[in-house]
């Protein structure tokens, strides 16, 4: 099973439904990554972005968060714009893109059927989110993408959900950390206009402003 505190092993057995789904995809697409997706970016970053879970043909295929997912196009473009990434995003983990002062993880590390992790899977995988947060010595800000990531991050930080409701563009202070929240940059949200690129950029602009003033 392997793994470390912040990273489940390739054959993590903790969520039976996700194990079955992983097995099915390994059979169907044996060249794909098909395993819990590790966080991307330096541990000494000041910012941690928390996504939902790998997309089946995106991070689950490529092994890098948001890479190959539709959602990754807007995310990486925005990170490049605000100086949190360098290089060129080519939807390929070998594209040479690097993250600067920023790291990306997911609330749930394994791909869930229909992009919908169950509450028990979110709770189980939170151990890895907590450990990921704990292994970042310079962390100052987190950016939650979507309500599920927001709620799981609030609990991972030891706070009460009722005191920190999700709101797009919201900013909460939890201990000595700032939690910024955005609607998820999914294809569904951008196609329906729930989230425009400008709304998404404004969140990262606020994070950049917060860091510059810190
Ligand atoms: N890809 C990820 O890695 N995470 C998400 O939340 C969505 C797509």
For residue 54, the CA-to-ligand 1 centroid distance in Å is 4
Regarding the beta carbon of 121 and ligand 1, being less than 6 Å apart is answered: no
Question: How far is the CA of 156 from the CAs of 21, 31, 73, 123, in angstroms?
Answer: 26, 33, 27, 9
Q: 35 CA to middle of ligand 1, Å?
A: 14
Q: What is the CA radius of gyration of the chain?
A: 16
Answer yes or no: are the C-beta atoms of 110 and 59 closer than 8 Å.
no
User: Is 55 touching ligand 1 by the criterion CB < 6 Å?
Assistant: yes
Q: pTM for this structure?
A: 0.97
Q: With cut-offs at 50, 70 and 90, classify the pLDDT of residue 6.
A: confident
Under DSSP, the state recorded for 40 is B
Measure 74 CA to ligand 1 centroid, in angstroms.
12
Distance CA 34, CA 17 (A): 14
CA–centroid distance, residue 110 to ligand 1 (Å): 10
Ligand 1 within 6 A of CB of 106? yes
Assigned token pair, 88: 């060129």
**Phi, psi angles (nearest 5°) of residue 115:** 60, 20
Distance of CA 130 to the CA centre of its chain: 13
- For residue range 174-188, list pLDDT tens digits in order: 999 999 999 999 999
Domain parsing of the chain, residue ranges: 3-213
- Kindly compute the dihedral angle of the four CA atoms of residues 143, 168, 37, 101, in this order, to the nearest 10 degrees: -20
Fold observed for domain 3-213 = Uracil-DNA Glycosylase, subunit E (3.40.470)
- Condensed to tens digits (0 to 9), the pLDDT of residues 111-158 reads 999 999 999 999 999 999 999 999 999 999 999 999 999 999 999 999
Place of tokens 């900013």: 171
71 lines ligand 1 (CB under 6 A): yes
Check whether 1 has a pLDDT greater than 70.
no
Q: Which of 188, 23, 2 is nearest to 113 (CA)?
A: 23
């Amino acid at each position: 099973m392997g793994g470390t505190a912040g990273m489940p092993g390739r054959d993590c057995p903790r969520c039976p439904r996700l194990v079955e789904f992983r097995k099915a995809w390994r059979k169907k697409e044996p060249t794909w990554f098909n395993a819990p997706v590790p966080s991307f970016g330096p541990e000494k970053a000041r910012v941690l972005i928390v996504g939902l879970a790998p997309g089946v043909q995106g991070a689950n295929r490529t092994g890098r968060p948001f890479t190959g997912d539709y959602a990754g196009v807007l995310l990486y473009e925005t990170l490049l714009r605000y100086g949190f990434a360098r290089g060129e995003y080519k939807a390929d983990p070998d594209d040479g893109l690097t993250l600067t002062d920023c790291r990306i993880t997911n609330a749930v590390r394994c791909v869930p059927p229909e992009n919908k992790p169950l509450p028990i899977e979110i709770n189980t995988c939170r151990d890895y989110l907590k450990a990921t947060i704990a292994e970042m010595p310079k962390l100052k800000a987190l950016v939650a993408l979507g309500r599920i990531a927001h709620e799981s991050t609030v609990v991972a930080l030891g706070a009460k959900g009722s005191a920190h409701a999700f709101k797009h563009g919201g900013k909460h202070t939890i201990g000595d950390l700032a939690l910024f929240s955005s609607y998820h940059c999914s294809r569904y949200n951008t196609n329906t206009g729930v989230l425009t690129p400008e709304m998404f950029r404004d969140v990262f602009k606020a994070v950049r402003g917060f860091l510059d003033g810190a």
